[in-house]
Amino acid sequence: MGLIYAKITLANPVLPQLSPIDAEALVDSGTLHLCIPVHLALQLRLETLSDVGQWQ
């Protein structure tokens, strides 16, 4: 069994005038949430809904 990647497009539905960002993501079939790097969140001007804290 190997790693599976998918090409995805990220966009901010609140600010549709911002250009979407194409990215390659590692697929985790058991996950419930999406984690993205801070620089992508900043580019898309996303707001934090919840914060689970820093990884240790």
The answer as to whether 17 is a domain residue is yes
Q: Are 20 and 10 in contact (CB under 8 A)?
A: yes
Mind listing the pLDDT tens digit for each residue in 44-54?
999 887 776 66
3-state helix, strand, coil in the chain (%, to 5): 10, 20, 70
Would you state the pLDDT for residue 56? 54
| DSSP secondary structure code for residue 13 in this structure | T
Number of domains in the chain: 1
Paired tokens of 9: 């497009």
Nearest to 21 by CA among 2, 46, 50: 46
What is the residue range of 27's domain? Answer: 5-43
The answer as to whether 55 is a domain residue is no
Is the pLDDT score of 23 beyond 80?
yes
Is the pLDDT score of 12 beyond 80?
yes
Mind listing the pLDDT tens digit for each residue in 24-50?
999 988 888 788 899 999 999 998 877
What span, in angstroms and rounded, lies between the C-alpha atoms of 20 and 36?
14
Would you state the pLDDT for residue 41? 93
* pLDDT: which is higher, 5 or 53: 5
